[in-house]
Structures are given as structure tokens and as C-alpha cells.
Amino acid sequence: MKNGELVIDVEGITKRFGTHTVVNNIAMQVRRGEIYGFLGPNGSGKTTFLRMLCGLLRADSGSGRCLGYDIRHESDAIKREVGYMTQKFSYYEDLNLQENLDFIARIYGVPKRKEVVRASLEKLGLYARRKQLAGELSGGWKQRLALAASLIHSPQLLLLDEPTAGVDPKARRDFWDEIHQLAADGLTVLITTHYMDEAERCHRLAYIAYGNLLAKGTVDEVVRSAALSTWAVSGPDLHELAASLRELDGVEQVVPFGNTLHVNGRDAEQLRKAIQPFQREPYRWRQAESGLEDVFISLMDTAEDNFK
């Protein structure tokens, strides 16, 4: 598979549990060597979609290919070439790091297992801790072990389900440096995250809410397609100002950002007229660029809950 070829090419992917449609008619195309961000609120269907891609769940309808294999009929072949890092640490806490990786390598039938395990430990800075029990690791070190385990069989596609939840900022940065290096080497990465700074480090991204795909593209494309108008205001008693602004027609959301409020709406002229009476001392107003967080909160607020 050459750089630029589609690793994931699916359409109409749908999954229902009982009467609830948790993934609804989703299409996605991801190229080789791309870091593709998959965002959305809890319960939006992101994990279910990942599990269908890697063959752990069967789609009720839809079609397409992952790594060249049919996602509905060749799931066993897909599983062999996918690395999957789950939200919850899922390795053996009473085994040390080396034993955990050796066990996973045995499952995949990795040739020259001992050499591969040692190389994996060294690459991710785990070798000095190889005899430490996994249960004794901090969140950041557990994250490294989980990444090493998901890469032990040299997959072509890496699925990461909120991999940086609960780790410190330095561990998050180190993790992303590693992901970008892997992508530069040709590995394709599909990652779910709630962190907007991480979303901005993806080559492209998609936003899903309540099973529906609401936006996709580069960061600039997603922000531009939302067509949000945003104003920033600073001054005293902002919590009182926020309460007043939220009652106005044309104001979609009012969100604190440090010592300012971001005030957003989709109709720029209606928003301008709504805030005009408040554009006086002691407040200072300026037009601002809409960011990913503004866009995603707006998308979430306007999405229809499929469990109601």
C-alpha cells in the first residue's frame, strides 16, 4: 500500500443496539500515513465505530474496506494488521513490562519474538523498567506500555481510543511526538480524543455526535464550514454578563476563556445587533476567530440526542 492510498474507505456504516442507532450511515476515507482525529461527546458512537473498523463488531449495514479487506466479511484478516489501544489499560498488572509484551507477541505469532520485544522496549524508553510490574506504573508509563503492545506485531493501522486521558501534559506531548514519527514512517493512525489541542495536531478530523457525522476535513475546513461568528469580551462581573447574553436571540453560546467570554452565533448580523447594547464601558469587545472548541460545542448543542 503506497503513501496516499486509502487505508480506510467505508460508507453507510450503521450499528444498532436494540431500538437505538448508535452509528448512523457514516462514511470515512483515511489515507496511508495520515493522523485522523475522531471527536465527539461521550456516548457518540466513536468507540463502536472503531470496533467495527477493526473487526470486533459487525456493522448492521454499510460497506467498504479497511487495509484492502472487506470490513464485513474479512474481519479476521483486518485484525492481524491493526493495532488497537483501548481507553482502559487492559494488560496484566501482575506481569512485568517485558512479560506483557512477550505475551502479546506470542498471541500474534511474531517471529524472533525476544529480539522484537527488546527493540520495542528500547524504542519507547521502557527497557530500564522492563522488570517492573505493570500495576506499579503511573498513567504515562502505562500509556507507553499499551502503545508498545499495540505496535508489537508491526500493524499497518493504529486505532487509539482516547489514549491520553488521565496522563500529565509532558506525557501527552511525548506521546504525540511518537505518533507523528510513526505516521512519518507510513503508519496510519485513527485517534479519538476530547482535547482540542490534540485535535489540532491531526492531519484531518471528523466530528460525530449521537451517531451522526456532523463535520469533517482539516481544522481550517471544519472551522470555516461551521460559519460561526465570534466576539470576545472582557471586563468586570463577567458571570453576570454571561447570564444576560445567553438570553438573547442570535447568541448560541457564551463560554468563559480565562478573563474573557467568547460569544458565538451562526448569524453574524443578528449576533451583532444582539450584543450592541452591551458594547459599552466597562466592557471591551473585539471580534475573534472561532476555534475548534467553539465549533464543537456549537455542533454538540445543535445535535439531536438519539436516546431521547
Spatial separation of the C-alpha atoms in residues 303 and 149, rounded to whole Å: 36
| β 69-70/61-66 pair status | antiparallel
Roughly what angle, to the nearest 10 degrees, separates helices 139-151 and 169-184? Answer: 20
pLDDT digits (tens, 9 = 90+) for 273-307: 999 999 999 999 999 999 888 888 888 777 666 55
Place of cell 447574553: 245
What CATH superfamily is the domain 229-289? ACT domain (3.30.70.260)
> Grid coordinates standing for 5?
492510498
CATH topology of domain 6-222: Rossmann fold (3.40.50)
> Residue 135: its pLDDT value, please?
92
Residue 1: pLDDT band (50, 70, 90) is very low
pLDDT digits (tens, 9 = 90+) for 11-50: 999 999 998 899 999 999 999 999 999 998 888 889 899 8
- With cell 500509556, the residue in question is 143
Cα(174)–Cα(179) distance, rounded to whole angstroms? 9
Average pLDDT of the segment spanning 158-184: 89
Q: What is the pLDDT, as a whole number, of residue 164? A: 84
Q: Give the start-to-end residue ranges of the domains of the chain.
A: 6-222, 229-289
User: 245-276 pLDDT, tens per residue?
Assistant: 999 999 998 989 889 999 999 999 999 999 99
Q: Which of 97-101, 163-167, 240-244, 279-283 has the lowest mean pLDDT?
A: 163-167
Instruction: Compute the distance between CA of residue 247 and CA of residue 9 in angstroms, rounded to an integer.
Output: 44
Is residue 196 within 8 Å of 207, Cβ to Cβ? Answer: no
Radius of gyration from C-alpha coordinates of the chain: 22
Residue whose grid cell is 511474531: 110
Closest C-alpha among 22, 136, 170, 159 to residue 82: 159
pLDDT tens digits along 47-76 = 899 889 888 899 999 999 999 999 989 999
